[in-house]
Each structure stands twice: as structure tokens, then as C-alpha cells.
Amino acid sequence: MKSGGFFDVSRMPSRCIVLLGAPGSGKGTAAAWLTGRLKVPHVSTGDILRAEMGADTELGRLAKSCGETGRLVPDRIITDLVEKWVDVHPRDGFLFDGFPRTLPQAEMFDEILKRHAIRLDAVLNLIVSRAIVEERILGRVVCAQCKAVYHQSRVPPRCEAICNVCGGALTRRADDEVGVFQERWRVYERETAGLVDFYRARGLVHDVDAAVDVGDLYDSVWKALTS
Ligand code: ADP
């Protein structure tokens, strides 16, 4: 089929996607939008760990103690979670948000994908400065039920502390406090930022300016995935 035709595969959006970016760069927001648009599941290791915390499991207690100090959960525990997820879900698409977060996780993820004959299509690198992220995170409130994200002054809910989407209660994340944020940023720079080069060397990375409003972020993300 000619380029630009109806079934032109070169114009089909990528479907097996990893989102990289600092805490507060908008990975969760972009993923929540993309999951509806691409009809592929959004996998947030942070959300999986928060669910474990809510159920007070052994893993949840470990994740809580890591999260409270801004540290990462050990790599092997995270990659086991991811492998279990991949085992029981269709292989034609996913949006990983918050994973991989270290070089060993990225290497183990390669092995997992190879074992399941899955090819990673794209890595979105959301770029934003520390000052912007700090302002976002310190004002962030999240729906406890559907995970929709708001900002106390910039994207406030219609009714105070109530989610516009599902009516759930809005809460602040414990790891969004200022001291914990500083440690999360340090850990991001030390452990995670280098993954961009790891994936760039394979030609998978699409840089996206994430210091923009949500609507513009969606546009740039979509352009990156369909270009
Ligand atoms: P952020 O907003 O910082 O991207 P997440 O919601 O992705 O936060 O994760 C919250 C916490 O859960 C992290 O600070 C870390 O303790 C733990 N966590 C999440 N994903 C991973 C991962 N891939 N590896 C190790 N720890 C993780």
C-alpha cells in the first residue's frame, strides 16, 4: 500500500510503549489518556505497589517503607511483578509507567520481552525541569478511586476534594511531601535518567516537551507515536 494510504502501517501508532520521565513529569497523566486512545493497558508499578500497601501485604509494607523515604523497591521484586503481569495479559500492547527505573530493571525487562516474543515499539521521554515538577508535585491531589490527577491551583476539581470523573475522594500522596520529593529527585537522577541513553542507542526514544499544559502534552505525545 502506498505511503499515506488507509492501511499505511508506517502511520499506525506504536502500541508497546515505555514512558520515561522524572517524578511529576506527567507520565501518569499521559498514560491515562493514551490508554483510552490506544486501547492498551496502563501498567504503573507505583499503582500496583500502592494497591499492595492498601491491602497491607508483605510487599505493600516493604513498598511503604521505601516510598516514605523516596527509595526504590529492589529490582528483582519489581521485575517479578512485571513478568507476572506480562504472563497473563495479551501481548499486543501496553504502556509501562514508572518501569523500568534502573539499568538492571531495563536489562531484565529485555529478557522478559524476549521470553514472550514482544517487541518494544517506543519510549516516550517526558522532559521537564525540576522547578516545574516541584510546583506540580507539591500541589498534586489524586483520586483514591480512579487515580485521576488534579492540581490544587492549576487543575482544581469542580467540588473541593471530590473527583470530577467518579466522585471519589481526592487525597495527597505521602511521597509528595517536600523532603521525600527531594530524595525521589536524587534517586531519579542517579538511577533512572540514564535509561534515556540506553533506549536512545536503539533508536526508540521520542523526546516530548512536558513543561506544557495537558492538552498540548497529549498532542505532542500523539505526534511522537505516529511520526
Ligand atoms: P513517581 O510519581 O515518583 O513516578 P510512582 O508512583 O511511579 O512515583 O512510584 C512510587 C514509589 O513506588 C517509588 O518512589 C518507589 O518507591 C516505588 N516504585 C515504583 N515503581 C518502581 C520501580 N520500577 N522500581 C522500584 N521502585 C518502584
Residue with cell 540514564: 194
> For 209, left (φ over 0), alpha (ψ -120 to 50), or beta?
beta
Residue with cell 490527577: 149
Distances (CA, A) of 143 to 119, 154, 160: 33, 16, 12
Share above pLDDT 90 across residues of the chain, in percent, rounded to a whole number: 79
Ranking 21-30, 108-117, 172-181 by mean pLDDT, the lowest is 172-181
Q: Which of 213, 192, 219 is nearest to 18 (CA)?
A: 192
At residue 3, the pLDDT reads: 42
Q: What is the Cα gyration radius of the chain?
A: 17
Indicate whether 134 pLDDT > 70.
yes
Residue with cell 529478557: 111
Indicate whether 4 pLDDT > 90.
no
Indicate whether 174 pLDDT > 90.
no
| Cβ(175) – ligand 1 distance below 6 Å | yes
| Cβ(21) – ligand 1 distance below 6 Å | no
Using the atom order of ligand 1, give the atom closest to the CA of residue 100.
23
| Cβ(187) – ligand 1 distance below 6 Å | no
At residue 203, the pLDDT reads: 96
Share above pLDDT 70 across residues of the chain, in percent, rounded to a whole number: 94
* 128 contacts 26 by C-beta, under 8 angstroms: yes
At residue 11, the pLDDT reads: 54
Catalytic amino acids? 27, 101, 140, 173, 184
